[in-house]
Amino acid sequence: MARYFEDTEVGEVYELDGRYEVTEEEIKEFAEKYDPQPFHLDEEAAQESIFGSLAASGWHTASICMRLLVDGFLEEETSMGARGVDELRWIQPVYPGDTLRVEVEILEKRLSESNPEMGHIRTQLTGYNQDDEAVIEWKALGMVRRRNAEE
């Protein structure tokens, strides 16, 4: 069932069902393409880094969490995109074999001043590993379709 602007309340927390296991191969493939730093590409270099072993790029972690958000929270019928992401923080490294999940909290919501068909919902996404340790967090301002723009 579609979740419209009117269906969300400030303070609600959504624990999404999706899980994503991060692989060594994927870490290296992403890094080669987008973030070719040694600690994302080479085990020996990673051992000498502050991470102590191969670690996923923070951008890779963000991409995985975005996929989990799309699959488990954003609705094709109601999501109208986003205005931006604020306060992106990589809290701790993600390593090969980690399994990620996300939670979304509704921080605030308001009607759009420029488009009566939508509202703005500010959320906080937190990504966790298999040990329920936070690994990433961001705040975003999403645009969500209203059920009835005339109300």
pLDDT in tens, 121-148: 999 999 999 999 999 999 999 999 999 8
| Per-domain residue ranges of the chain | 5-145
pTM above 0.85, yes or no: yes
3-state secondary structure at position 46: helix
* Mean pLDDT calculated for residue range 89-111: 98
Please check whether the domain covering 5-145 is classified as CATH 3.10.129.10: yes
By C-alpha distance, which of 68, 70, 71, 77 is closest to 7? Answer: 77
Characterise 62 by phi-psi region: left (phi > 0), alpha (psi -120 to 50), beta (else): alpha
